[in-house]
Amino acid sequence: MRRNKPFGGLFGAALLLVGACGEAPPLETCGQIPEGGCPIGRGGSCDDMYCAALHDCVEGKWTQVKRCPDGNGSGGAGGGGGGGAGAGAGPCTMVTLDHSAETLGCKPDLENPDCPAAAAETCAESACLTSCLDFFLCTKDGWIDVAHCDEEGQLVIVQ
């Protein structure tokens, strides 16, 4: 005697595969790249006069991939960059977004090229050199767009 299995065969396997897809691991942001560093994942190159080294975001930490020849990054080999914009000033304008309405648990999860707002809180000049194009904040009303990269690769704050 043959019994019919309600979820057997290919149909059951398909259900298992759908359930196995689940959610992707949370995006780990690396925060501010080290001074003179450029992100390799979005076209960072030693041809850029501001790059002293190329870095990659690995497991939430910036990892140096390549050191650029002397003369690159932060005003040259001596560092410090006395560019006249003030002490410690360099090619980095820090981005600070308003997180006062932020909460947790927004669904669905963000997918590339959408990223959490925290991913934009680096140097404005390098925020669009990652794989992120739009930056969102999770609020009680769901995801809201707080920043995006324009066609020229410049960060535009919407919030």
The pLDDT assigned to 149 comes to 92
- Secondary structure element (H or E) that encloses residue 101, with its range: none
User: How confident is residue 3, by pLDDT bands cut at 50, 70 and 90?
Assistant: very low
User: How confident is residue 133, by pLDDT bands cut at 50, 70 and 90?
Assistant: very high
Which residues touch 91 (CB under 8 Å, ≥6 apart)? 50, 74, 123, 125
Q: Summarize pLDDT for 72-83 with one digit per residue, the tens.
A: 654 433 333 333
Domain ranges of the chain: 25-79+90-157
Q: Are the C-beta atoms of residues 85 and 59 closer than 8 Å to each other?
A: no
User: How confident is residue 143, by pLDDT bands cut at 50, 70 and 90?
Assistant: very high
The pLDDT assigned to 33 comes to 82
Alpha carbons 108 and 50: distance in angstroms, whole number = 37
Tokens (6 digits) for 117: 């707002």
pTM above threshold 0.95: no
Residue 17 has pLDDT above 50, yes or no: no
Residue 1 has pLDDT above 80, yes or no: no
